[in-house]
Amino acid sequence: MQDSSADTAGPDDPPLTGILVADFSRVLAGPYATMLLADMGATVVKVESPAGDETRTWQPPVRDGVSTYYLGVNRGKRSVALDLRDPGDLTAARELARRADVVIENLKPGGMAKYGLDHETVAAANPGVVYASISGFGSGAGRHVPGYDLMVQAVSGLMSLTGDPDGSPYRAGISVFDVMAGNHAVIGILAALRHRDATGRGQHVEVNLLSSALTGLVNHSSAYVAGGVVPYRMGNAHPSVFPYEPLPTADRDLIVAAANDGQFRALCEVLGSPGIADDPRFAHNADRTAHREELRPVLVALLAERGATEWFELLVAAGVPCGPINTIDGGFAMAERFGLEPVVEVGSGDRALPTTRHPITFSATPARYELPPPELDEHGAEVRAWLAAPEQPARERSGPPDPAGPADRGTPGGTGEDA
C-alpha cells in the first residue's frame, strides 16, 4: 500500500503531501479534481494519450499559443504520454496504478477494463487504492451514454429552469456539472482516504454528472421530490423569494437579494421609504413573493434615483445583500478589493503563469502553486525511469524524482474516449 501523507508530510506541508495520484482523466471534471488535489500537496501524474488531452486544442483563447482552457485546470501536475495499446506503455501505466494511492479516470464505464486498469484489477494488486471513476450517467443502465456537461444540463432539467419564461432554454455559462462532479470526486476521494487511514482498505468511488446535477439543483429537486411540483424557468426571478433578482437603477442592473424580513426592512430604509415594509402585502417573504408584481415597480422607481455602484455601497453598509452585474474582470477586481488575492503565480521564470487561487484557505498548511500546467509528455522520461526502477520502501515512495524541488509533482489527463 502506498504510504500516506501522515507518514511523509512535515507539520507545515500541504495536507496531501505523500499521496500519489495516477490521473487517467481528461477534459474537465477529472482534471479539475486532480488540480485541487495537487494544490493540496498530492503528487499527480497526468497520463495522456500521445495526442494529448483534448483541451490542449480547445482554443481560442490562448496564452503563448496554449489553450487557456487547458491551462485553467492542469497546474501542479506532471505529464507522461502513454499509448495504452503499446505493451511497454501499458506496463508502465499498470505499474503507476499499482503504486498509486489514488487512481482517477473518466472513460466510459468499462473502458479501463480492456487495459487491465479497471478497479477490480488494480485493487487486486493494490488493495489500498482509492479508485475514483467519473461518468456521465453511472455504471448501470446508462453506462453506454457519453457524458458531456451540456447533455446533462439538458436532461437533468437545468436548462428548463434557465432563460426567459417565454423564450428558449439556455445553458449555464460554464460547464457547471463537470465542475460540480469534480468537486464531488474530491470529496469522495478524501473520505475514502480517511477510511483507508482507519482500516487499511481502499474502495471504489463513483461519481456521475447526472447525480451531481440532481443534488445540485437543490431547492428545485426538493420541490419535485418532496412537493410534487415541477418548476419552470422564471428568467432571473426566484420562485420562493422576492426581491431576489436584478433590478434596474439609474445606470445598470443591480442584484438585490433581500431574502428575509430584516433585510427587506433595511432595504426600504436605505431607499428612503421605510413604510413599504409595514404594508401587509409586503410584510413577510411569502407576502412579497405573492405580490411581487405590485412590489417590483415600487422598488424600481426608488432605485432609479442612483446608480448601481452608489446603491451597492449604501445597501451593503446597511447589511442588504446586493451587487452589480460585472463582467469577469470586474469579478476579479472585486475579489482584489476584498483582499481575497484571487490570482496567484504558478511556476517560475519563463514558465511563470498567472492562475486562479485555490478556493480553500488553510491556516496551517496552505495550498502550493509550484508546477505550471505541463507540456505534453514533459515529464515522460523521468516518470518512465522511476516506474522501471525497483520500488523503494514505503516511506520513500512519494512519487517520481523531483528535479525542480521537493514539491514538484505531476499531472494525468486523458485517453481520448468519451467520459
C-alpha cell at 21: 495520484
* Angle (CA) 142 125 46, round 5°: 65
Dist CA 296 CA 236 (whole Å): 13
340 contacts: CB under 8 Å, gap ≥ 6? 357
The C-alpha torsion from 176 through 179 and 182 to 187, rounded to 10°, is: -90
Residue pair 377/80 in contact by the 8 Å Cβ criterion: yes
Report domain extents, the chain. Answer: 5-217+344-396, 253-324
13 among known catalytic residues? no
What pLDDT sits at residue 390?
A: 86
Dist CA 248 CA 300 (whole Å): 6
C-alpha cell at 112: 479501463
How many other CB atoms sit within 10 Å of the CB of residue 28?
A: 27
What pLDDT sits at residue 1?
A: 30
What pLDDT sits at residue 393?
A: 61
C-alpha cell at 193: 482516504
Q: Of 222, 339, 247, 372, whose CA–CA distance to 298 is shortest?
A: 247
b/e code 329-347 from CB counts within 10 Å (16+ = b): eeeeeeeeeeeeebebebb
How many other CB atoms sit within 10 Å of the CB of residue 193?
A: 22
Q: List, for the chain, all residue ranges whose pLDDT scores fall below the cut of 50.
A: 1-7, 395-397, 403-419
Q: How far is CA 137 from the centre of its chain?
A: 18
Q: Looking at the domain that runs over 5-217+344-396, which CATH code has it been given?
A: 3.40.50.10540
C-alpha cell at 67: 489553450
- From the list 13, 39, 118, 178, the catalytic residue is 178
Residue pair 102/20 in contact by the 8 Å Cβ criterion: yes
- Match 449555464 to its residue by C-alpha cell: 172
Q: How far is CA 342 from the centre of its chain?
A: 16
What pLDDT sits at residue 419?
A: 38
Residue pair 277/265 in contact by the 8 Å Cβ criterion: yes
What pLDDT sits at residue 12?
A: 81
Could you report how far apart the first and last alpha carbons of the chain are, in Å? 28
φ/ψ (deg, to 5) at 22:
-95, 110
Fold of 253-324: formyl-coa transferase, domain 3 (3.30.1540)
Q: How far is CA 205 from the centre of its chain?
A: 17
What pLDDT sits at residue 9?
A: 62
- Match 481528461 to its residue by C-alpha cell: 26
What pLDDT sits at residue 409?
A: 33
What pLDDT sits at residue 399?
A: 65
Whether the link from the prior residue into 324 is cis, omega within 30° of 0, is no
Dist CA 419 CA 411 (whole Å): 18
